[in-house]
Amino acid sequence: MGIIKKPMVTEKMNLQGEKLNKYAFLVDKKANKLQIREAVEGMYDVTVESVNVLNYGPKLKRRYTKTGIQDGKTSAYKKAIITLIEGDKIDFYSNI
């Protein structure tokens, strides 16, 4: 669980999982594509065809309150989109 933090279960990724066999995960910022591939193959017992990685920077946020303006930012994260070979599936809901 060091490299893969959690799967991204959204409506868009569910559709891509059904049609295109693609799944998204939030991963460690320092992980590379080879480490992500090995982690997914080991955890879910599937064969990975390709790995695409996206780095998201923090977004600046500002709130106006009675005490004044409060500035902050959201967390930066890294997202990996995994494409599996034809015939392999990942079922996130099997353990529920």
Q: Are 36 and 4 contacting, i.e. CB atoms less than 8 angstroms apart?
A: yes
Structure confidence by residue, pLDDT tens digits, 19-43? 999 999 999 999 999 999 999 999 9
Q: State residue 2's pLDDT score.
A: 87
CATH class of 4-84: alpha beta
pLDDT band at 1 (very low <50, low <70, confident <90, very high): low
CB count within 10 Å of CB 13 equals 17
Report H helices in the chain: 11-19, 33-44
Average pLDDT value for residue range 6-21: 92
Average pLDDT (46-58) is 96
In this structure, what token pair is assigned to residue 14? 């569910």
Report the C-alpha gap between 70 and 25 in whole angstroms.
31
Q: What angle do CA 95, 53, 92 make, to 5 degrees?
A: 10
Could you tell me the pLDDT band of residue 96, with boundaries at 50, 70 and 90? low
Looking at residue 61, what is its pLDDT? 95
